């Protein structure tokens, strides 16, 4: 999988992607991250990539010419071109899965007050927001997209089961996890997890997932696939 990132701040991508699972995926050649500096495609001595808004208003707007030229110089085939923007479609695990099935994706990082609408119209195929809050720029959202897509690629995360059983992928939030020691500062690991009874453990985990989802994300329950047993427990 190849990620093409178009940004005014390429230095933002230098360190954050150089540790743990994403770094290993790069080293193994499972992913490539090509970062293009939009400012390299400006034509004045100051490298001007933004300008005032037509119609007035606070905040600068990213100019279309350097972004189009950066895209034309670095992108070839018809690939999804994401624009990171709070005005986009919300990033969900379903969208992440869809993106992971593409051999390459491009991500244009918006910055300042936003980008000239012609970038959204004529270049981006997929405006994406990572949540209902506003960040200073689209670089962190781009890294989040790269991270979430990378861990779905075959062989990137150790066991496929841990991806298949993900929180959200299953439609519910994940159950609590514990490791050693069995007792820590008076807090103990639930007995059932030490019992070795796999059916009981599965039942406990399912119920904890249901409880957590009901508490923190009740909206997910309307689309999660629930058994009659689950429904009885929730009604319980």
Site for ligand ADE in 164-223 (CB under 6 A): none
d(CA 113, CA 101): 32
**Per rule CB under 6 A, is residue 42 in the interface with ligand ADE?**
no
Q: What is the closest distance, in whole angstroms, from the C-beta atom of residue 206 to ligand ADE in the complex?
A: 32
H-run or E-run covering 188: strand 187-188
* Sign of torsion over alpha carbons 206, 177, 164, 197: negative
Backbone angles phi, psi at 108, to 5 degrees: -95, 120
Q: Which is nearer to ligand ADE, 54 or 133 (CB)?
A: 133
- Of 124, 130, 152, 173, the residue at the interface with ligand ADE (CB under 6 A) is 130
Stretch that binds ligand ADE, among 35-43, 124-132, 165-173, 221-229 (CB under 6 A): 124-132
Region from 36-44, 134-142, 163-171, 209-217 binding ligand ADE, contact rule CB under 6 A: 134-142
Residue 147: closest CA among 69, 75, 186, 91: 91
Which DSSP helix (H) or strand (E) runs through 105?
Answer: strand 104-109
Stretch near ligand ADE under the rule CB under 6 A, chosen from 16-24, 41-49, 83-91, 197-205: 83-91
Q: Which is nearer to ligand ADE, 83 or 156 (CB)?
A: 83
Among 42, 129, 150, 209, binds ligand ADE (CB under 6 A): 129
Among 7, 84, 209, 213, binds ligand ADE (CB under 6 A): 84
Encode 175-209: b = buried (16+ Cβ within 10 Å), e = exposed. Answer: beeeeeeeeeeeeeeeeebeeeeeeebeebbbbbb
**Both tokens of residue 120?**
């959204």
The residue (of 80 and 86) whose beta carbon lies closer to ligand ADE is 86
Structure tokens at 159: 């066991």
Given 100, 135, 153, 163, the residue binding ligand ADE (CB under 6 A): 135
- Residue 7 makes contact with ligand ADE by CB under 6 A: no
* 85 is a contact residue toward ligand ADE (CB under 6 A): yes
Determine the Cα–Cα distance for residues 119 and 63; give it in Å rounded to an integer.
9
The rounded distance, in Å, linking the Cα atoms of 102 and 81 is 11
Q: By CB under 6 A, is residue 127 in contact with ligand ADE? A: no
Residue whose CB is less far from ligand ADE, 98 or 191: 98
Max distance between CA atoms of the chain, in angstroms, equals 70
For residue 10, state whether it binds ligand ADE (rule: CB under 6 A): no
Q: Which residues bind ligand ADE (CB under 6 A)?
A: 84-86, 110, 129-131, 133-135, 138, 141
């Amino acid at each position: 999988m190849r990620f093409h990132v178009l940004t005014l701040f390429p230095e933002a991508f230098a360190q954050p992607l150089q540790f743990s699972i994403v770094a290993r995926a790069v080293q193994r050649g499972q992913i490539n991250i090509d970062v293009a500096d939009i400012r390299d495609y400006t034509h004045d001595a100051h490298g001007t990539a933004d300008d005032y808004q037509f119609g007035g208003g606070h905040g600068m707007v990213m100019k279309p010419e350097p972004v189009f030229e950066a895209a034309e110089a670095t992108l070839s085939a018809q690939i999804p071109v994401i624009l990171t923007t709070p005005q986009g479609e919300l990033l969900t695990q379903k969208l992440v899965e869809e993106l992971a099935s593409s051999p390459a994706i491009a991500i244009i990082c918006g910055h300042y007050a936003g980008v000239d609408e012609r970038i959204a119209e004529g270049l981006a195929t997929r405006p994406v927001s990572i949540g209902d809050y506003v960040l200073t720029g689209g670089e962190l959202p781009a890294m989040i997209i790269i991270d979430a897509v990378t861990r779905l690629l075959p062989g990137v995360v150790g066991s496929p089961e841990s991806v298949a059983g993900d929180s959200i992928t299953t439609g519910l939030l994940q159950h609590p996890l514990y490791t050693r020691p069995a007792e820590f500062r008076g807090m103990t690991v639930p007995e059932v997890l030490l019992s070795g009874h796999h059916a009981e453990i599965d039942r406990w985990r399912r119920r904890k997932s249901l409880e957590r989802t009901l508490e923190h994300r009740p909206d997910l329950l309307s689309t999660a696939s629930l058994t009659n047993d689950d429904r009885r427990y929730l009604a319980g």
